Structure 1
């Protein structure tokens, strides 16, 4: 098997940026979901914006801008808003540049809670509020995560430690400048709990391209389904059978980078969005969640939701390695049974 695609999502919920290569870290890819959008409600409170409930987020396209000297602290990404159809009736494309690592000293703090895991974020300046509010058509703000990463709350969550935790990040300098390290480090590398950005449940989401054969078989002949609707970080191609990834326990990339596949990824109505219009889909693809639910509700921990893909964590000994498209992928651990999704402390909820 091989890596066929690598994706990162600078702002949670909007489109992905495709990469040829990337450095892997315990908290995920360097630029993955460090930003998030929040709707401002009438009472002044904030509501997390996720693509399942805000399908127009699929009309926003990010592009990374890294200086030639590789100094990502001076880097940025451009978000392009592409209204469906374009032209006068729908409005023209609009763009805004956002720093990869903004200065946060003078920014107001905002508390953000995702999946019962709270964190502190920073409200970006007014120019970003104005731009996103104008394009979405309602008040919203852009927030940056900074170094206060969220705690992972799954029953197993990649908390393994290397023999010397402090020594693990040393390999970063072989592929990144020291300033780049400041950006991708984020959390304290000696932190015992596994930490993530604004990603839902784990730093990495891995899917198998082979299983798209089954997905396409649920649609009319000749109609394809966009695999990026599953929001993967890594797409692996070359598996022998559809859905064999349900049993992947660990993948080894290029003989040295180990990714631990710990949980299934349950799916929601975001699968039904028409990415071309930024609205719920009307055709057969617009009922993909129901189609998959017919026989892909295979995790008793999420018995009402179909599964596609594996939530994954980086093995401590792989911190700072570089992976690239075309790298060989080997299943170095295979589970006898499917894993069961569970939150820590789930039994305490009413």
Structure 2
């Protein structure tokens, strides 16, 4: 198999930026899902904006201007965070000109690593896994609010991270017995319980469940074959980071336990990715797709409800964590890299329900 496509999503639930190569880190691809929109509800509460509930986010395109390797190294050493060394350009494709009332344009430039020294901090909860984020302020909030038609907060996660909970955080190398059973059911906040050499691999940005999502083009083609002739499933609706070509059979990835990309990059595939109505969205209109393309979720319901832990949701793709030990050097993947399955599971993994933090508090 080969790496055929690489995608980074700088702003959660918006359209991705395609890459020809990328560094890989224990926290995911650099700059992946570092930003997110939250809707301000009438009572002042904030609602995380995910594309299944806010399908108009598909109308926002992203393009990244990366800093050079030298600039990025200097930036990290000096802790200087400004837009001169990289930025995201967001383009709203739902209008041909400026906003009719606010007058804001259809493009917005956002620094990849904003200066957070004067930004307001607030708490974000995602999938029962909390973190602290920064409110990017009125310039960015008002731009998105204008195009969306309601008040939002544009959040940046900065140096903060989230824990992966449930068995998403459990080590594939954990031993048998009661201690590994307990460790598979609690957040990875207690040193030593998870039995994993690489504790940092359990730390997330605004990605849902894991730093990496891997899908097979062979399986995408299987979905396309369920659509009328001439229609093809857009792989970005599945929101993968890494797309692999050359798998002999569709959905064989259900049993993949580990991938080796090139010679040294190892990605442990811990769990299945279960799907929702987001795969029915029309990326051109930011609304549910009409016709057969709007029934993809229903089509997958027929034969892809294969995870016993989420029996009402179809599975497509695998969540992964970089297997990297302390002291390992920087790793890079690129389109065209050879990929082999270095571990095959005897059975499909089961996505356990994410548990409340009360269990952690009781044990701690």
Q: TM-score, with normalisation over the residues of structure 1? A: 0.86
Map of 2:267 onto structure 1: 259
Any residues of structure 2 matched to 1:45-194 within 5 Å, and which? 45-68=45-68, 70-72=70-72, 73=75, 74-83=85-94, 86=96, 94-157=106-169, 194=202
**What is aligned with 1:181?**
none
Residues 266-300 of structure 1 deviation map (CA, whole Å, 9 limit, x = unaligned): 00000110001001111101011011001100001
The answer on whether the counterparts of 2:309 and 2:353 sit within 8 Å (CA) in structure 1 is no
Which residue of the other structure, out of 243, 249, 252, is the alignment partner of 1:235? 243
CA offset digits 1:1-53 (Å, max 9, x no partner): 00000000000000000111111111101110010000011111111000011
Q: Shift in Å at residue 129 of structure 1?
A: 0.6
Distance 2:354 2:294 in 1: 33
The Cα shift of 1:65 comes to 1.3
**Residue in 2 that maps onto 1:173:** none
Write the distance in 1 (CA, Å) between the matches of 2:50 and 2:2. Answer: 30
Change (3 A) 1:2 1:284: same
Separation in 2, partners of 1:70, 1:325: 23
- CA shift, 1:89, in A, is 11
Unaligned runs of 5+ in 1: 162-188
> Conserved in 1, the CA contact under 8 Å of 2:267 and 2:322?
yes
Q: Secondary structure at the match of 1:155?
A: helix
Match of 2:256 in 1: 248
Aligned match of 2:194: none
CA contact (8 A) 1:259 1:314 kept: yes
Q: Corresponding residue for 2:41? A: 41
The secondary structure found in structure 1 opposite 2:167 is coil
Give the SS at the match of 2:140: helix
Q: Which residue of 2 aligns with 1:329?
A: 339
Instruction: Return the alpha-carbon distance in structure 2 between the equivalents of residues 190 and 311 of structure 1.
Output: 17
Please report the RMSD computed on the Cα atoms of aligned residues, expressed in angstroms. 2.4
